[in-house]
Amino acid sequence: MNQYEVMYVIDPALEDSARTELINRFSDLVKKNGGEVDRVDEWGKRRLAYAIQYKTEGYYVLMYIKAPAELPRELERNMQISDSVLRYLTVRYEGELPAKREPLKPYAPREAAPAEDAAPVEAPAEAQPAAEAAPVAEAEPVVEAEPAVEAPVDDEKPESEAE
């Protein structure tokens, strides 16, 4: 049996009970076709990179399964038929099951902490100046370039023609 990672995005307008039923339906499909579900991670609502069917958010689900080689095609066929699934992707991977990711915390702006509560910042230990640490190399003498001779401009006449 091969290991697969199945990611799919569900329509966020779906009710919680219908969403749970859909996730269970895909898990049961894997079990009925001779596979086993290692883990199902629900990442929750996230903003999409681009609008899909005029929706800017989606409910992400990541499922790790072990299944025969024919199962991903059947699973993707069922996801394609379902109107509630916006996008899906199945990837085969090798190795151990990755650690479970913690869900992202919603953004909450921090309030400015008073200056009294802040601990004083200690200055780092002083290091030797770079000039003392490195030996000084002798500088090469600078050669000045000779000034370039300017060519006469076409508008100016030479002195012999001016007379």
pLDDT of residue 83: 94
Tokens of 22: 């859909």
2-93, what's its fold? Answer: Alpha-Beta Plaits (3.30.70)
pLDDT of residue 97: 81
pLDDT of residue 134: 54
Mean pLDDT lowest among 28-37, 42-51, 112-121: 112-121
Given a contact cutoff of 8 angstroms between Cβ atoms, the answer to whether 84 and 22 are in contact is yes
Q: Which helix (H) or strand (E) holds 71?
A: helix 71-81
**55: amino acid identity, one letter:** K
Place of tokens 């697969």: 4
pLDDT tens profile 104-121: 666 566 675 555 555 555
Given a contact cutoff of 8 angstroms between Cβ atoms, the answer to whether 35 and 71 are in contact is yes
Kindly tell me if the per-residue pLDDT of 84 is higher than 70.
yes
Given a contact cutoff of 8 angstroms between Cβ atoms, the answer to whether 40 and 27 are in contact is yes
**144: amino acid identity, one letter:** E
Given a contact cutoff of 8 angstroms between Cβ atoms, the answer to whether 34 and 68 are in contact is yes
Higher pLDDT, 163 or 81: 81
**Per-residue pLDDT band at 98 (split at 50, 70, 90):** confident
Tokens of 48: 């999409």
Kindly tell me if the per-residue pLDDT of 37 is higher than 70.
yes
Question: Average pLDDT over the chain, rounded to whole?
Answer: 80
Cα separations (Å) of 113 from 82, 108, 109, 121, 154? 50, 15, 12, 15, 73
Higher pLDDT, 112 or 22: 22
pLDDT of residue 95: 83
